[in-house]
């Protein structure tokens, strides 16, 4: 019998097993470890942790319900992949949706408190008769819209297991691509940080000494070259510029981290991303890869209009998102997908060709996955060559910075007669 049809008392007893507890333990090697565990009550949570051979002692256990989970908190992609794999396995062995969620919550120590909270909330809603995919759609920051939509399509097609596996594959591929991009961006970030440190050292530690030297040699009557005066002027302002820059940068990063999903922020940032040298083509192809992968997953079981609408929210760039929504409007007016996309300049001809082949053969999913693999390969190639592509730019930047400061410092030596006052 489905848990949704159980009496209220029985449902309450079932829901009680879904309590989440946060813990602090020491592992066998003496290191502290934090996480969450699902148990019926605190005593059961302690017993479960004590039985774990990897833990030496249990330091603290408290109900995770007291933890403040932001409405915009996101689950880790790795955790979503693990959950989707477990869900597919539970469905495969014949479990119903809520039974599968309950089993997953009870079956393992979930390291992701946000996902644990989300699953507990979904489980509660399912106890009131809400379908799993509908409950997940109420928490879009925890469960991506593409996830709930793909599961909905699988449920309606009677193949929830395949849908769960597809969700895991898509999230895993997207997370892997994101990790590769982060790795590729590490080099330019480190070099840029080192360049700034070198600049600050020269301006704060070196230039002022020469300024003092020139002033003492000429008794304040030196006629210095314009470039030297400019560098000295900047150096004199560094005492307040550095703290101000640090505070503004920190405040901007914190604000952006909290608001980067807001449409007004994306409307300003996303077009700039596509115009950046080297990075612009990479960001575009990342979005194209997501478009191909997501639309291929959804188009099989959803109406093209709905599939485009959900796909638009997954591409990660507002420019492409609006272009996809425009194509959706074209489809509503009776146009083919390829014809609608062709009116948007952001989509390359190669993609349009594959979409047109998919439209004419009825195999859009297969065609899009094929072109998606090509774009993914392009992104991988760019990330692999990122160091070679960016290195010349930073070499020129550092060389130019050092050259300007060196000229500012040493040009006055060519006119020592004008600088040094007569004895």
Kindly report the pTM of this predicted structure: 0.66
- In the chain, count of helices (H) and strands (E)? 19, 3
Residue 318 lies in a domain: yes
Predicted confidence at residue 418, as pLDDT, reads 53
Residue 124 lies in a domain: yes
Residue 413 burial (CB < 10 Å; 0-12/13-18/19+)? exposed
Taking a C-beta distance cutoff of 8 angstroms, is the pair 364, 337 a contact?
A: yes
Residue 208 lies in a domain: no
What pLDDT digit, counting tens, does each position of 297-334 carry?
A: 887 777 888 888 888 888 888 999 899 998 888 888 88
Give the domain-ending residue among 143, 178, 205.
143
Domain count along the chain: 2
Predicted confidence at residue 2, as pLDDT, reads 40
Q: In what order do the strands lie in the sheet containing 55-63?
A: 32-38, 20-27, 55-63
What is the helix (H) or strand (E) element at residue 62, kind and residue range?
A: strand 55-63
Residue 266 lies in a domain: no
Looking up residue 338, the CATH number of its domain turns out to be 1.20.81.30
What pLDDT digit, counting tens, does each position of 50-107 carry?
A: 788 888 777 777 765 544 566 667 888 888 888 888 888 888 888 888 888 888 887 6
The string of DSSP codes covering 337-355 is HHHHHHTSTTS-HHHHHHH
Per-residue pLDDT of the chain (423 residues; tens, 9 = 90+): 444 444 443 344 344 445 667 777 778 777 777 777 777 777 777 778 878 888 877 777 776 554 456 666 788 888 888 888 888 888 888 888 888 888 888 765 566 778 888 888 888 888 888 888 888 888 888 888 788 888 888 887 788 888 888 888 888 888 888 888 888 778 788 888 888 888 888 888 888 887 777 667 656 555 677 887 888 888 888 888 888 988 998 999 888 888 877 888 888 999 999 998 878 888 899 899 989 988 888 877 778 888 888 888 888 889 998 999 988 888 888 888 888 888 888 999 999 899 888 888 888 888 888 998 899 898 888 888 877 777 788 888 888 888 888 888 777 776 655 555 454
Predicted confidence at residue 271, as pLDDT, reads 92
Give the domain-ending residue among 126, 143, 160.
143
Distance CA 368, CA 294 (A): 9
What pLDDT digit, counting tens, does each position of 200-216 carry?
A: 888 888 888 877 776 67
Task: Tell me the residue range of the domain where 106 lies.
Answer: 3-143
Predicted confidence at residue 22, as pLDDT, reads 75
Distance CA 211, CA 206 (A): 9
Handedness of CA 31, 32, 37, 40 (dihedral sign): positive
Residue 36 lies in a domain: yes
**Which residues pair with residue 295 across a beta bridge?**
none
CA-to-CA separations, 206 to 112, 335, 408, in angstroms, rounded: 49, 66, 11
127: which DSSP letter? H
The string of DSSP codes covering 103-120 is HHHHHS--S-HHHHHHHH
Residues contacting 222, CB < 8 A, separation 6+: 214, 215, 412, 418, 419
Residue 196 lies in a domain: no
CA-to-CA separations, 121 to 130, 171, 385, in angstroms, rounded: 11, 21, 44
CA-to-CA separations, 268 to 220, 262, 291, 318, in angstroms, rounded: 49, 10, 21, 9
Residue 369 lies in a domain: yes
Residue 400 lies in a domain: no
Predicted confidence at residue 15, as pLDDT, reads 44
Predicted confidence at residue 420, as pLDDT, reads 53
Predicted confidence at residue 288, as pLDDT, reads 92
Give the domain-ending residue among 110, 143, 176.
143
Q: Give the phi and the psi of residue 335 in degrees, each rounded to 5.
A: -80, 155
Taking a C-beta distance cutoff of 8 angstroms, is the pair 308, 322 a contact?
A: no
């Amino acid at each position: 019998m489905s848990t949704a049809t159980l009496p209220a008392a029985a449902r309450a007893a079932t829901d009680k097993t879904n309590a989440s507890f946060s813990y602090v333990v020491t592992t066998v090697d003496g290191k502290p470890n934090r996480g969450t565990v699902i148990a019926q009550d605190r005593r059961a949570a302690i017993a479960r942790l004590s039985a774990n051979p990897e833990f030496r002692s249990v330091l603290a256990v408290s109900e995770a319900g007291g933890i403040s989970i932001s409405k915009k908190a996101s689950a880790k992609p790795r955790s979503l992949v693990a959950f989707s794999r477990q869900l597919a396995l539970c469905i495969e062995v014949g479990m119903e949706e809520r039974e599968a969620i309950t089993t997953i919550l009870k079956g393992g120590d979930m390291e992701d408190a946000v996902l644990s909270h989300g699953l507990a909330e979904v489980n509660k809603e399912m106890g009131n008769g809400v379908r799993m995919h509908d409950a997940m759609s109420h928490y879009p920051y925890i469960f991506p819209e593409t996830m709930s939509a793909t599961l909905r399509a699988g449920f309606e097609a009677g193949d929830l297991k395949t849908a769960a596996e597809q969700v895991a594959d898509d999230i895993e591929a997207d997370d892997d691509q994101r990790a590769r991009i982060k790795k590729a961006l590490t080099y330019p970030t480190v070099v840029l940080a080192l360049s700034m440190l070198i600049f600050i050292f020269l301006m704060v530690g070196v230039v002022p000494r020469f300024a003092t030297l020139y002033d003492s040699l000429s008794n304040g009557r030196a006629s210095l070259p314009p470039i030297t005066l400019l560098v000295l002027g900047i150096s004199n302002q560094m005492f307040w510029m550095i703290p101000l820059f640090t505070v503004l940068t920190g405040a901007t990063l914190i604000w952006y981290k909290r608001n980067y999903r807001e449409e007004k922020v994306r409307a300003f940032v996303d077009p700039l991303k596509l115009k950046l040298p080297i990075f612009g083509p990479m960001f575009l192809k990342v979005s194209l890869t997501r478009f191909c992968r997501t639309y291929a997953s959804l188009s099989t079981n959803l109406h093209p209009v709905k599939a485009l609408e959900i796909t638009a929210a997954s591409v990660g760039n507002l420019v492409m998102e609006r272009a996809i929504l425009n194509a959706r409007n074209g489809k509503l007016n009776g146009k083919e997908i390829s014809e609608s996309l062709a009116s948007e300049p952001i989509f390359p001809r190669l993609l349009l060709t594959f979409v047109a082949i998919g439209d004419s053969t009825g195999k859009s999913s297969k065609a899009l996955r094929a072109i998606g693999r090509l774009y993914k390969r392009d992104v991988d190639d760019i990330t692999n060559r990122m160091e070679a592509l960016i290195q010349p730019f930073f070499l020129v930047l550092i060389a130019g910075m050092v050259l300007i400061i060196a000229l500012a410092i040493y040009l006055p030596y060519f006119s020592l007669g004008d600088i040094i006052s007569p004895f």
